[in-house]
Amino acid sequence: MGLVSGKEILQKANKGGYAVGAFNFVNMEVLDAILSAAQDENAPVIVAASEGAIKYAGFETIVALATTGAAARKIPIALHLDHGKDMKLIEKCIKGGFTSVMIDASHAPFNENVETTKKVVEMARPKGISVEAELGRLTGVEDHVSVAERDAVLVNPAEAESFAKQTGIDSLAPAIGTSHGAFKFKGEAKLDIERLAKVKKATQLPLVLHGASSLPEEIVGLVAKFGGKLDGAHGVPDSELQKTIAGGINKVNVDTDLRLAFLGGLRRVLLEQKEEIDLRKVLGPAKEMVYKAVRSRIKVLGCSGKA
């Protein structure tokens, strides 16, 4: 089908009340596993490359892998720049084959975030490329923190409304208590679903959940069984994820689960088959683990059959 704009995928998800997976990749194996899993679930999918991934694999390689991978599938696929901070790189993505970009200026004061985001929208809009921006900070929020401390970290719904109007963004990532990586919460996952629903009501935009990995027991257990150290790893439980979708999330960002799935498969082969020297037989099972993890995530998100 070829790459489509992130807008097309997310506007449909917003109308249909479901979420689409945005999965990070840094190499051919992970990308191919994501695309095959989405194809087999007949689900739309977003493949995301971070600035670090582009540096690692090379800009042209990332674009070529995603473009040829999408052309070989029959589902809507968008290529997204994740957490874009470097304006030159964002421009390169807009001109060079990405169909969706994120401008992450959430660390800057509100007005600066507005101005920077507006510049990206101006560059992207004429090419039909969608723009995601972020409000608030992606840090886990402990139960005992005060209302003022929570407000300082999480998205402010009134600000979200004004931000959306001023910038003309296509989707918004509101901080509601998730964080990146494998150690998201010390105790129970506590996401601010009420705040999320207010942001949805105020903006009506497709909303994005960062830090959405669930750290499934079968994946964490596999990594740990074969020597990985992940004590205290804790993600967003599926039930909580589904509450965020009911509250207005339409794009769910998953990286850590896939990293661990790949590593679990790799660790197992390296420890169980010490004489294996064929890379395809070493990396193949790791790729298969990612494929299974993506299919499982897509089922939880409710976007199977939505292609």
Which H/E stretch holds residue 194?
Answer: helix 193-203
* Candidates 32, 82, 86, 231; catalytic one: 82
82 noted as active-site residue: yes
Could you say which residues in the range 124-153 bind ligand G3H, by CB under 6 A?
none
| 181 near ligand 13P, rule: CB under 6 A | yes
Nearest Cα residue to 82 out of 10, 192, 6: 6
- Closest separation in Å from C-beta 242 to ligand 13P: 16
Q: Give the span between the Cα atoms of 94 and 96, in whole angstroms.
A: 6
Question: Which of 31, 255, 266, 291 touches ligand G3H (CB under 6 A)?
Answer: 255
Q: Which does 240 bind (CB under 5 to 8 A by kind): ligand G3H, Zn ion, ligand 13P, none?
A: none
Could you say which residues in the range 33-72 bind ligand G3H, by CB under 6 A?
50, 52-53
User: What single letter denotes the amino acid at residue 279?
Assistant: L
For 59-108, where are the E strands, in sequence order? 77-84, 100-103
Q: Which does 195 bind (CB under 5 to 8 A by kind): ligand G3H, ligand 13P, Zn ion, none?
A: none
Look up residue 58 and give its two tokens: 């090379």
The answer to whether residues 82 and 48 touch, using CB atoms and an 8 Å cutoff, is yes
Question: Which of 24, 106, 171, 250 touches ligand 13P (CB under 6 A)?
Answer: 24
- Closest separation in Å from C-beta 83 to Zn ion: 6
What is the number of H-type helices and E-type strands within the chain? 13, 8
How many chain residues bind ligand G3H (CB under 6 A)?
Answer: 8
Can you give the three-state secondary structure of 269-283, one letter per residue? HHHHCCCCCCHHHHH
Could you give the string, one character per residue 191-210, with x where binding to ligand 13P holds by CB under 6 A and - elsewhere?
Answer: -------------------x
Look up residue 63 and give its two tokens: 């674009």
Residues that bind ligand 13P in the complex, under the rule CB under 6 A:
24, 82-83, 180-181, 210-213, 253-257
